[in-house]
Amino acid sequence: MIDIALHPGNGLDVGSLIQEGRVHSAIYTDPAIFELELRRIFYKTWVYIGHESEVPKRGDYQVRLIGRQQVIMVRGTDEKVRVLMNRCRHRGAVVCEREAGNVKFFRCVYHGWMYDTTGKLIGVTGREAYGPDFKPETMGLTPAPRQDNYRGFVFASLSPEGESLRDFLGKAAEMIDFLVDASPVGQIAVDAGVSKTIYTGNWKLVGMDGYHPNYVHASVVDAWKRDADSGMGATHREDPFDDKAESRTRDLGNGHAMLDMRKQRMKHYPVYEGFVRGIPGGEEYVKTMLEKHGEERGKLLIALAGDPHVGVFPNMQIINNQIRIMNPLAPDRTEVNMYAVRLMGVTDDFNAVRLRQHESFYGPAGAGSPDDAEIFERAQMGMLADVNPWVEISRGMNREVKDEDGTIVGLITDEVTQRGQARKWRELMTQAN
């Protein structure tokens, strides 16, 4: 058993918690490590905030989290989308008391200070009480030190320095494209509601795992067998979670990882195209996509149906028809918010089918994600028994394949994705503040 020297302040080498094919369960359970993760991961790297379609009009805002820190994603009067810290520059109150809305300006009700939607301080009550040293132009809502946008996906970093967003995304960027380009006009609207869930477990338990579906989601597989057209059944006709399948796990680098279903779906392309054709507006969709993207790319986009199944480290995943944000609240408490997506350029009925699929599997009453949450809770409970603290993530270590572009590839049940995330974790956690 590791003793109390585990506390990073006591000179613990946090990197030693990640070993070849195994990780120490303290990374999931220890409160001091959790605090270090906030500083060295969430307050350092690029963190996904939201999609610009969530703030379509001037004055629209959404309040999100970077670790514990509330930020406001707001479209200003100049049409620009900014990420501003939700904290009045006076005495620190949040200026946005609601989660989302539309305002002409932010008014702090503590003492009446006002900011416009670009963050500029435009009103100080009793201005005469301040001397010449008070410079209102320096007292606007603090912007997140770095902000950037990839195809409408707004990211922010609380660290003023570091690699660009594009470099950080690396090979994950083209995976994000698979969702955006599932729209015939290359636009998505993240305005279809959000499934808000919470579980008693660590944030890192939400990974990319192709090994669990046949066990955790056995009840769904069972229901599919009963009726192959039920819910998600139509999109998983042959078992893609069998090592014999063409599906793969991919470590894209920088902690990003995916379940790569591309080859598996292309192998059964007629089935996937048939399913899309059966949706209202589907025939038109198939025709438009093939015309716009050509046969090869068009078919891939149709077959994947906007689901790259990718995790963008540390807090976001694109799965099925959703953009998912994981918020770490405590070592053993995590929020998972699943934002449903509508594709622009298709009929309402076409999108409605996708929304029904989301409801079928995801959300607190879904057939799938509550069982994931249940398993995470059982893992969190189990890991407290740390006489032997090692968590095995060695599956498939001896059969990894490296692509030319550096991507590490494994069979669908291999723990390539877990190892990729662990590697990035160690890299960030062993950098001094």
Q: Which residue matches tokens 């195209």?
A: 273
- Which residue, among 306, 278, 301, has the nearest Cα to 290 in the 3D structure? 301
In the bound complex, what is the minimum distance in angstroms from residue 359's beta carbon to other proteins?
Answer: 5
* Buried-exposed string 319-339: b where 16+ CB fall within 10 A, e elsewhere: bbbbbbbbbbeebbbbebbbb
Stretch that binds other proteins, among 255-263, 346-354, 401-409, 413-421 (CB under 8 A): 346-354
Based on the shown chain and the rule CB under 8 A, indicate whether residue 192 belongs to the binding site for other proteins: yes
Q: Which residue matches tokens 């599956």?
A: 395
What DSSP element (H or E) covers 121?
A: strand 121-123
- Which residue, among 193, 237, 197, 118, has the nearest Cα to 374 in the 3D structure? 197
Based on the shown chain and the rule CB under 8 A, indicate whether residue 208 belongs to the binding site for other proteins: no
- Going by the DSSP 8-state scheme, the letter that residue 317 receives in this structure is E
Q: Which residues in 371-400 contact other proteins (CB under 8 A)?
A: 371, 373-375
Based on the shown chain and the rule CB under 8 A, indicate whether residue 97 belongs to the binding site for other proteins: no
Q: Which is nearer to other proteins, 214 or 394 (CB)?
A: 214
In the bound complex, what is the minimum distance in angstroms from residue 313's beta carbon to other proteins?
Answer: 22
Based on the shown chain and the rule CB under 8 A, indicate whether residue 153 belongs to the binding site for other proteins: no
Separation of alpha carbons 215 and 138, rounded Å = 56
Q: Which is nearer to other proteins, 33 or 194 (CB)?
A: 194
Separation of alpha carbons 419 and 257, rounded Å = 10
For other proteins, the binding residue among 23, 194, 408, 416 (CB under 8 A) is: 194
Task: Please provide the distance, in angstroms rounded to a whole number, between the alpha carbons at the two ends of the chain.
Answer: 28
Reduced DSSP (H G I as helix, E B as strand, rest coil) percent helix, strand, coil of the chain, to 5: 35, 25, 40
Give the binding-site size for other proteins (rule: CB under 8 A). 42
In the bound complex, what is the minimum distance in angstroms from residue 53's beta carbon to other proteins?
Answer: 13
Based on the shown chain and the rule CB under 8 A, indicate whether residue 348 belongs to the binding site for other proteins: yes
Written as one letter, the residue type at 130 is: Y
Stretch that binds other proteins, among 2-10, 144-152, 193-201, 416-424 (CB under 8 A): 193-201
Q: Which residues in 103-122 contact other proteins (CB under 8 A)?
A: none
Based on the shown chain and the rule CB under 8 A, indicate whether residue 340 belongs to the binding site for other proteins: yes
Instruction: Give Cα separations from 177 to 196, 221, 295, 304, 310 (angstroms).
Output: 25, 29, 17, 11, 11
In the bound complex, what is the minimum distance in angstroms from residue 282's beta carbon to other proteins?
Answer: 16
Stretch that binds other proteins, among 77-85, 114-122, 170-178, 353-361 (CB under 8 A): 353-361
β-pair partners for 312: 316
Separation of alpha carbons 301 and 291, rounded Å = 12
In the bound complex, what is the minimum distance in angstroms from residue 231's beta carbon to other proteins?
Answer: 7
Contact 415, 394 (CB under 8 A): yes
Based on the shown chain and the rule CB under 8 A, indicate whether residue 239 belongs to the binding site for other proteins: no
Q: Which two tokens stand for residue 168?
A: 């950080």
In the bound complex, what is the minimum distance in angstroms from residue 180's beta carbon to other proteins?
Answer: 19
For other proteins, the binding residue among 29, 183, 197, 202 (CB under 8 A) is: 197
Based on the shown chain and the rule CB under 8 A, indicate whether residue 223 belongs to the binding site for other proteins: yes
Instruction: Give Cα separations from 315 to 46, 47, 48, 66 (angstroms).
Output: 9, 7, 7, 9
In the bound complex, what is the minimum distance in angstroms from residue 287's beta carbon to other proteins?
Answer: 23
In the bound complex, what is the minimum distance in angstroms from residue 388's beta carbon to other proteins?
Answer: 24
3-state class (DSSP) for residue 198? strand
Stretch that binds other proteins, among 27-35, 47-55, 150-158, 194-202 (CB under 8 A): 194-202
For other proteins, the binding residue among 53, 102, 187, 230 (CB under 8 A) is: 230
Stretch that binds other proteins, among 13-21, 153-161, 288-296, 367-375 (CB under 8 A): 367-375
Phi and psi for 83 in degrees, rounded to 5? -115, 115
In the bound complex, what is the minimum distance in angstroms from residue 193's beta carbon to other proteins?
Answer: 4
What DSSP element (H or E) covers 169?
A: helix 165-169
Contact mark string toward other proteins, 283..302, x via CB under 8 A = --------------------
For other proteins, the binding residue among 177, 243, 284, 359 (CB under 8 A) is: 359
User: Where would I find the beta strands (DSSP E) of 158-268?
Assistant: 188-189, 194-199, 248-253, 256-260
Q: Which residue matches tokens 């090869």?
A: 296
What DSSP element (H or E) covers 210?
A: none
Q: Which residues in 15-44 contact other proteins (CB under 8 A)?
A: none
* Interface positions with other proteins (CB under 8 A): 99, 191-199, 216, 218-220, 222-223, 226-227, 230-231, 335, 337, 340, 342, 348-349, 351-352, 355-356, 358-360, 363-365, 367, 370-371, 373-375
